[in-house]
Structure 1
């Protein structure tokens, strides 16, 4: 046998049964009140215990017994809570086990949080995650109140906050909620996009808000205006709006002004162009309506586009996860094909126009491909079945990325097309109900760079036109381009030339476009990673038969993401198209589940 020195060949050994016997022995001593040096009084009951065990299990007791407080020398200490909850916590301190049920978990969880016993908190949290749909509103509100103050329990807080949000109409029937919920909690809930469900309408949300206000009117009436601004009042029937609010709220001047504005707008609901859901989303768009822009992201196996959504204050970011692939692969070859050209929405439906490029070398395949494309270039997404259906094809094949707009019962398409081997920019439209196409303008006479749908229901088209002759610098190479702007009026099918007065230095190129913001117009010239975007104010007169536009000096718009404005956007109901919420790094978003209880 090899020999070794005394300070070598050291081996740590142990016995788990010894720890179990020690724990069991200490617990038995507690029940016998043997060697106990403190009595914990909860309600009408005394619980003998050992300070050493309590200090090891609980940060609360460790601080109490080791920091020179007077409790460290006392033989009896009173703590808040119920006898039943503390008995379970004491069992856990000695054995590591306790019994949880729907009836007892709330009290035990609250006691574990109060005494700072992380392991007990984790076990309660795990149980609460599994049974989150089994509690009353009162229990859910209490659990949210407890967990929202602990960052380590944020996911549990989010679960129960979500339940309260989705059951808001039940919350305002609960005395516990009405008595204890603060104005900040109400504002947080009313700001949530998910408060409106299939079972909770905006009218019920308004009724519940009024109920909360009137529960303690004298103290809460100062919050009436702020809360009212969070409600989509345009979705509440006008004939019931005044009755629901009542004389007390309408006596507040600002509340009355808000309601009068809603009533005035509602009168023009059917004739408004564009629809009020777009011009006044804070009043007329359902909370499930999301503004989105679509971008493509292809991997080796899928042609499904990725949907990127605008970040707005107090909304969440979403990503489409169930959208089926658009059937845009060339059927005669496995060749990788190009991207989807454009999207547009209507009544929670998506429409896609595609231009599938063929990269093969075989001429016959190329001809077959072109024939196939002429018959397979326009699709509609069906959310009920998660599939794309083929619609009547676009009459004239589009090239590249057209601009598509939904105006009433039509989808308008503006873009470059191929006509007898020549490229022309055209305006075509698709009738949604009859599912038929018509050509409106067969040649814009200039290369379209950008087009936007104005709040007036008209389309502003920006382009450039090449002219022969010398360039402004005197050279003759290639001719030169001049900016061209046109205004298209869908109601009369008119395309009017816009006279542009440019008094500043502007270079028109593919990343230059017009933008409408807060009823003002701007010209944006996108810079690169070294140079910022340049924004010029534009003064427009589009009401006459000879529309004009004056491009002025550079201005600064800090609140608008001009690069996002470049992408075409649309709105739809997020519940209809298979969305899931994804983490967002947007600093403007409210952090859900972290509202502190007052």
Structure 2
């Protein structure tokens, strides 16, 4: 009676790793490449299959009936060439070096290519870099890239360290709309209401001509009853706003009725 060999299941060790190493070798030697990414003056050969397996952006481009699916060269407008090359290499190796001088270009490019793991790694890197001198810039950058977690962390850091943040150039360069978001927060960590007043006046003085018109919109964010009597004195109906911010006679005075319209509710 003949005996039958039992069925066996074989699984190659490190199969995926070895396969990707081979594909990376093809990339470096520009072999079997079927697409060229063009960023600025740089041309980056690659393999559609690899790009599509890692990036939802490329997957949508190459698997749908889009014009780019049939093109040999794909122009990547507005993309940093070095960041693109680093992320193409990442697609083959899973490795990426994050540095202060490349983190923003990597993050913006990763957001475009929909590389979620890279986006998360870049955001974590920037969270560790938060400082009173850069938190507003990181906050703005996160908002522009749609990185909500990073934006929230940077925003909260700004509120918590507001006393140090207002000493830096980034604060003075903020548009009025962002000043409103900061001064209007109930989580603003300040020793006294005078901190807000002094920060606001420093911001106005930085660009006096263009910002004096914004003062009437921003003054309501100062809770006058919490100011020390001497600090609150310029806001009485008998005073003029120019006395607070140092206007000379040559500057337009703020109408008194606007001062009267300030809410006195805390």
Q: Please report the TM-score for the alignment, with normalisation by the length of structure 2.
A: 0.75
C-alpha distance in 2 between matches for 1:63 and 1:145: 25
Partner of 2:245: 244
Picking from 185, 190, 202, the partner of 2:183 is: 190
Distance 1:129 1:202, change over 3 A: closer
Picking from 96, 114, 125, the partner of 1:127 is: 125
Describe how 1:92-241 pairs up with structure 2 within 5 A.
92-133=90-131, 136-137=134-135, 139-146=137-144, 149-150=146-147, 153-154=148-149, 156-165=150-159, 166=162, 167-170=164-167, 173-174=169-170, 177-178=173-174, 181=175, 183=177, 185-198=178-191, 201-210=195-204, 216-217=210-211, 221=213, 224-234=215-225, 235=227, 237=231, 238-239=233-234
Picking from 20, 28, 33, the partner of 1:31 is: 28
Q: Is the 8 A contact 2:27 2:45 kept in 1?
A: yes
C-alpha distance in 2 between matches for 1:18 and 1:202: 61
Distance 1:175 1:16, change over 3 A: farther
Describe how 1:308-457 pairs up with structure 2 within 5 A.
none
C-alpha distance in 1 between matches for 2:55 and 2:122: 16
Q: CA-to-partner distance for each residue in 1:283-332, whole Å, 9 max, x for gaps?
A: xxxxxxxxxxxxxxxxxxxxxxxxxxxxxxxxxxxxxxxxxxxxxxxxxx
Partner of 1:48: 45
Q: Give the match's secondary structure for 1:103.
A: coil
C-alpha distance in 1 between matches for 2:206 and 2:8: 69
C-alpha distance in 2 between matches for 1:182 and 1:116: 32
Q: Is the 8 A contact 2:172 2:203 kept in 1?
A: no
- Unpaired runs of 5+ in structure 2? 236-240
C-alpha distance in 2 between matches for 1:176 and 1:75: 48
Kindly tell me the number of residue pairs found equivalent between the two proteins. 247
Picking from 253, 258, 264, the partner of 1:255 is: 258
Q: Is the 8 A contact 1:41 1:78 kept in 2?
A: yes
Q: CA-to-partner distance for each residue in 1:416-459, whole Å, 9 max, x for gaps?
A: xxxxxxxxxxxxxxxxxxxxxxxxxxxxxxxxxxxxxxxxxxxx
Q: Is the 8 A contact 2:40 2:80 kept in 1?
A: yes
Q: Give the match's secondary structure for 1:174.
A: helix
Q: Give the match's secondary structure for 1:197.
A: coil
Q: Is the 8 A contact 2:139 2:151 kept in 1?
A: no
C-alpha distance in 2 between matches for 1:194 and 1:60: 38
Q: CA-to-partner distance for each residue in 1:366-404, whole Å, 9 max, x for gaps?
A: xxxxxxxxxxxxxxxxxxxxxxxxxxxxxxxxxxxxxxx
Q: Is the 8 A contact 1:92 1:98 kept in 2?
A: yes
Distance 1:63 1:170, change over 3 A: farther
Q: Is the 8 A contact 1:225 1:254 kept in 2?
A: no
Distance 1:182 1:108, change over 3 A: farther
Q: Is the 8 A contact 1:138 1:177 kept in 2?
A: no
Q: Is the 8 A contact 1:39 1:77 kept in 2?
A: yes
Distance 1:195 1:175, change over 3 A: closer
Partner of 1:84: 82
Describe how 1:447-596 pairs up with structure 2 within 5 A.
none
C-alpha distance in 1 between matches for 2:173 and 2:39: 27
C-alpha distance in 2 between matches for 1:48 and 1:281: 64
Rg (Cα) greater in structure? 1
- Unpaired runs of 5+ in structure 1? 262-279, 283-598
Partner of 1:292: none
- Higher strand fraction: Structure 1 or Structure 2? 1
